[in-house]
Structure 1
Amino acid sequence: MARSIDIMKDRQEAIEAGCDVLGQGFPIAIPTETVYGLAADATNPAAIAHIYETKGRPRFNPLICHMADLAMAEDHAEFDPVSRALAEAFWPGPLTIVVPLKPQSTIHSLATAGLDTVGIRVPVGFAGELIHAFGRPLAAPSANTSGKISATSAEHVEADLGDKIRLILDAGASAVGVESTIVKIENGRVRLLRPGGLPASEIEHVAKQKLLRSRRASAAIEAPGMLASHYAPGAAVRLDATRVEENEALVAFGSAAITGAANARIVLNLSRSGDLAEAAANLFDYMKKADATGAATIAFTTIPDDGLGEAINDRLRRAAAPRE
C-alpha cells in the first residue's frame, strides 16, 4: 500500500519524499485546492506512461501540466495578451489555460497527447511549493481510475489507487472540490473547454468578453475532462429527479422536499442552504458515499446552472452519459 504523509505535520518531509519518488520516475498523489492529482515529471516519458497505466487512461486524452509560477510556465509555452492577463489575475488558482508549446519546451509529447498546445495551471499552496522544489513541471490528472469519480481526500485516493502508487501526500479535504476551469484563447476570443472551479463570470470580467462555449457533441479532445462519459460512479446516474424510485440513493440540493426520499438507500444534501461553493466541495465525496450504498441508481435533484453550478452540472451530465 502507498505510504501516506500528513503535510500539516511535516511539510518538509512531504516535499523531500515527494521529490524523491518523482525523481525516480514514479507518480505520487498530491493535494491541490481543486481535487487530488496523480503527479509525475512532465518531462519524463516513462513517468508519464506510469500515470496512464495507473489510471487506465486513454493516451489520446492530454494531461494538464502544473507549474510553480507564471515564470516557469513561460519557459514552456507562449502567452498571448489575453492568456497572460488571465494568468496574472487567477494564478495560483483553479484555472487551466491551453496555450501553444514553445519549440524548446522539455514537456514530453506523451503528456500533451501529441498536440502542439499544452494545458497549464499554477495550483494554490503546497502543490506549487512541491513543483518549485522539484524544479520541473508536473503532469497531474485527477488521482482516480480514469472515468470514475475524482478524489477530494487522501482517503479517496487510498481506496482507489493505494495499491498502485508509492506515496500519498495528505492535506485533508480539497477546498474547491471540482477540477479547474479550462479555457483556450483563439484569435483573441476566450473559449471555455471545461467549466470548473473558477466561475465563467469571473473570467469574463477580466477578459472583458463573453466566453465561447464548445458544442459537446462535436468538440475535439483538446483538454482533460472532455470525454462524453466521465466522473462516473458504479451506479447509474439520474438527473433532475423530483422523486426517489426503487433502489435509488438521493443526492439533493437545497431545501425542497423530494417525494419518496424516506425510501432512498441514503439521502445526502450538497447544500441545504443552496450554496453552490459548498455543493461543489461536497460533490465527489457525496457521489462516492451514495455509490457505496450499492444503489442501482443515484438520483440528483436539479442544480442551478449559474456560477459554479455550470461546473457541477457538467460533471453530472458526464457521469450520467452512456458508458462504453
Structure 2
Amino acid sequence: MAERTNKPRLIMVLGAGASVHAGIPSTKDVTNRIGAIKDNATIQEVVRILQQHEKDGFNFESVMAALEDLQEYEYSKRCNGRLTRGTLSAFTELASFNNKSGGFFTTWHILINSIYKLFSENCTTPSENLKSFFDLMEEHFELTVLTLNYDDLIDHTGPWFDGFQKREDTDDYCSFNACQFVRRVTVEPKVLLHLHGSVRFGYSSQSSLDIVKYASVEKGFDSIKGIKAGLVRAAPIISGHQKERWLQRYTIPLGYYYNAFVNAAVSTPLWVIAGYGANDLHVNTWVLESMRIHKEEARVIIIDQSESAAFQCNNYLSGANTIGCPRVRFLCGSETGNFPPSSDKVGEIINFLKGESN
C-alpha cells in the first residue's frame, strides 16, 4: 500500500471532449455508427422513433437506454414481472415491437459489439503531452481521475490504481479486489476510476457475470461475444440516461468506483473538469455537494474547446452561489481549451488550485 503524502487530493472529471485530441470517437461519431446499421430492423425502428421523440437531444445513449428497458420489459413479461415506465412509453403500444424472445437483448448486444469495434479501431497510444500533464500534476497533488470515457488512453500514461490485480492462474486478465480497493483508494497517489466502464473490461473465461480487465482492447472485445440472452447483466460499459441504476446494480467495479468518487467529492475542494458538458446528473450532484461543503475553499478549473459546453458546466455549478461561490477559472475555446493543456497553462492551473493566484 502506498504511503500517505502531504499533498492535497485533486479530482479530475474527464468527459468525451478530453479524448478528442487523440482521435477517440465522440458521442456524435458513435451515434452516426449506430445510425449506419441498416441490417437490423429493431435498431432502425428504435432510432427512427427516438429521433422524432427526442429531436435535438437524440444520441446513441438514447438507443442503448431504450433497448435495455425493452429487454427488461420483455423478460419481465415472461416472468410475470411488472412494467416500469420511462423510455418504454415511446414503444409499448407499437405492434412492431412484439419481439421474439431475446430479440431486444440480441439487438443490445449488436450495439455493444459495434461500440467496442469502433473504439478498438481508434484507441491509440496517448501523446507525450498527456503523460507529461499527469506527471506534472502528480508532483503537486494526489490524483483521483474520474473518466466518463470508454477509451483506455489514461491507462497507458503510467501506473494507476484501479482495484484490478493480476491473477496467478492467467495472464489474460486481472480481477477486481474489492477489499484492497476500499483500503487503498483514499491513500494511493494516482487513482483511476472508469465510472462508465472501459473497452478493456470484459467477462472472465470462467463466468459471464464477472467483469475483469483485459490487457488489450481486442481481448476485451472477444470476451463479450456469445453472451446468452437474459436480463441485461453486469456490463463492461454502461450508457443511457439513468446510468445511476447500473452503478447501483453492477457493484464490481462500477459500484465501488462510484462510492469512491462520492467519498472523494465530499472530502476534496479541488477540481479539474475537462471536456464535460454536465449531462450526467449522478456526477453533477456530487460536484455541487462538494461546492456546498467546501464553500470558499473550492477551486474549479473548467477546460473545454467548446465554450458553450464549458458554460453549461458552469451554469450547473452556479447553484453553489447560494452557499458561497467557488472560485472557477475557465480555459475554453479553440486556443486555450485544449486537453491536455499546454505546459504554460499547466503552471497556471497548479498555481490557481494551490491558492497562489486568483
Q: Which has the higher strand share?
A: 1
TM-score normalised over the length of structure 2: 0.24
Q: Which has the higher helix share?
A: 2
Name which one, 1 or 2, has greater alpha-carbon Rg: 2
